[in-house]
Amino acid sequence: MHMACFFRRSIAAQLSRIFGQDEAFFLPLVCAVPVSKRQPTPDFRLTVSSLVKSGVLPPDGDLLAQTACLARQLKGDGVVEEVIPTRGVINFRINKLLLAEKLLTSVHAEPQGFGMQSEILQRLRRGRVLVEYSSPNIAKKFHAGHLRSTIIGNFIANLKEALGNDVIRVNYLGDWGMQFGLLGAGFQRLGSQEKLRENALQHLFEVYVQVNREAEQDESVRLAAAEFFRRLEQHDQQALLLWQQFREISVKEYRRVYERLGIHFNHYSGESFHQSKIQDVLTSLQTQGLLKTTEKGTGVVDLSEAGDMSSYCTVLRSDGTSLYITRDIAAAVDRKEMFSFDEMIYVTDKSQSGHFWQLFQILRMLGHSWAKRCVHVPFGLVQGMSTRSGDVVFLEDVLDEARNRMLQNMHQTRTSKELSDPALTAEQIGISALIVQDFKGPLISDYKFNWDQVLQAQGDTGVFLQYTHARLCSLLRTQASVSHTHFDPCHLQDTRSLSTLQHLLRYDEVLLQSALELQPRYLVNFLITLCHLVSSAHRDLSVKGSALSVAQARLHLFSCTCSVLASGMRLLGITPVQKM
């Protein structure tokens, strides 16, 4: 049992006795109180309005009278030391010796899984979750704009997995469509197999840029592109071979970038994978009377409430070729058959919100009730992510830049440890800096990227998380001779220790909120606060030179905090470094 639950249960047991409801009913209503820098905080609180909302108290009562009346019925015991009513809220102070003992014993028993088994997480649905993320377009270098989808999707997949779901990570490559017509037709004219061997993606990128420029001016280039794509859709052997070569080159290149980010996929699929299903989709739309043909000869689905075509979605071009949404409908139906998922999550930028609204709507109209368990997680744009060399930003260049700047910072600080592989450490810290910067606010917001802010060691950054983790590891290494499996909680009753312990009580609630909203900022902010609290404790509570029993207790606190910090960082997709 997560330790916050031990204390919540104790409070819920009293509420259960007063109201005659089951204990489990009250558990989610008892919340850990965020630690305040200014004054000592109570440990848990219960709002009277939550009791009214859940129907335990009458809605028309006087709030203050209800609060006072309930507070009189709640008693202090060996676990709850004090019950403090304020305006509409009842605060609880718990026995601090018990807090230190129960909490740290629980972390020590399950350093990686702390918080994951909490009772308040039991009400989350569990099952098979398919997460589609990253999804770059083939034959274009991995653009920095795809970084967000990649790291957000990875966080969601990590979180779902940690909470007991069977997770399938899918990379849905943009490997079909008119851009391939352009690229294929362009490559036949401008491409060179030799350059393709030397620097594949760079060469494809240059061909694509040039043929795009020509297509804007020249009708014949556009026609050649449309013709090449039509040949692809009709499985013309020569066109398919060229397309396959582009695809393989790109995937190989992407895997290298994913490896640097520490990210893996169970499936590299793509729009091309679901070709055979497209006809089935069109047939279903037709037999259910949902497919209409316009005067221009395009195939559309009417999405309006009134059936007056005031809002519709095109699923077929007049030349009979498919569109992005057609392929997405086919992909969704195909995946449901292949994986029989319980939930499917798409992570893309917010400009596609309308697309997913249409997709889910059409799936529902086709009678797929599982469409209501499909979710789109939208995110905003990053402004100003450029590297020193110029404006077209490839992810590889951003990762190099993060690593090189970090290496430079590490050379300048004299405290840097002798590292076996400084470049790797710099890369891991650089990547955590990019992730934390990205995850600090609501995902839907755009944000301005700033290199100096991202890599600050003092601010609320990924560098600060890594620095705190490395310092704790270093402390535990230098004090390895002191056994701290047994500790006396009476040595952890100072304000620094207690603030850290109180903060750890909230971990399961933070995981719950992250899971319900699929937003990483709650976890990021929790970990940043944890680092501030444990840094203050590390500064004020020396281990070296203290009496053995005091040293043991403090080491136990630092070791457990280090475990929770590392496990939270891994959920975010960050590899914690041991030295820096």
CATH number of 395-572: 1.10.730.10
Torsion sign (Cα): 328, 333, 338, 340 = positive
Catalytic residue, from 140, 203, 277, 538: name it. 140
Question: Domain spanning 128-379: which CATH class is it, in words?
Answer: alpha beta
Average pLDDT over residues 52-61: 92
**N- to C-terminal Cα separation, the chain:** 35
For the chain, how big is the Rg over CA atoms in Å?
A: 28
Given a contact cutoff of 8 angstroms between Cβ atoms, the answer to whether 410 and 416 are in contact is: yes
Average pLDDT over residues 526-548: 96
Give the residue among 215, 192, 216 at the shortest CA–CA distance from 204.
192
> pLDDT exceeding 70 applies to what percent of the chain?
97
Catalytic residue, from 2, 102, 141, 146: name it. 146
Average pLDDT over residues 357-361: 97
Distance CA 41, CA 32 (A): 10
Predicted confidence at residue 392, as pLDDT, reads: 54
Pick the CATH number of 3-94 from 3.10.20.30, 3.40.50.300, 3.30.1360.70, 3.40.50.12280: 3.30.1360.70
Is 143 tagged catalytic? yes
> Is the pLDDT reported for residue 384 higher than 80?
no
Predicted confidence at residue 271, as pLDDT, reads: 84
For 308-317, the pLDDT digits (tens) are: 899 999 999 9
Q: CATH 1.10.730.10 spans which residues of the chain?
A: 395-572
- Judged by average pLDDT, the poorest of 98-112, 126-140, 159-173, 409-423 is 409-423
> Is the pLDDT reported for residue 261 higher than 80?
yes
Give the residue among 524, 473, 478 at the shortest CA–CA distance from 155.
524
For residue 61, name the pLDDT band (cuts at 50, 70, 90): confident
Distance CA 8, CA 537 (A): 26
For residue 391, name the pLDDT band (cuts at 50, 70, 90): low
Distance CA 383, CA 392 (A): 13
Is 140 tagged catalytic? yes
Predicted confidence at residue 484, as pLDDT, reads: 76
Q: CATH 3.30.1360.70 spans which residues of the chain?
A: 3-94
Question: What are 374's two structure tokens?
Answer: 């499909």
> Is the pLDDT reported for residue 53 higher than 90?
yes
> Is the pLDDT reported for residue 393 higher than 80?
no
What backbone phi and psi angles, to 5 degrees, belong to 129? -115, 130
Catalytic residue, from 108, 143, 292, 355: name it. 143
List all residues 6 or more positions away from 391 whose beta carbon is below 8 Å from its beta carbon: none
Is 2 tagged catalytic? no
Predicted confidence at residue 412, as pLDDT, reads: 83
For 497-531, the pLDDT digits (tens) are: 999 999 999 999 999 999 999 999 999 999 999 99
The greatest distance separating any two alpha carbons of the chain, rounded to the nearest whole angstrom, comes to 88
Given a contact cutoff of 8 angstroms between Cβ atoms, the answer to whether 275 and 232 are in contact is: no
Q: Indicate the SS3 state at residue 97.
A: helix
Distance CA 395, CA 147 (A): 7
> Is the pLDDT reported for residue 1 higher than 70?
no
> Is the pLDDT reported for residue 387 higher than 80?
no
Average pLDDT over residues 285-310: 93
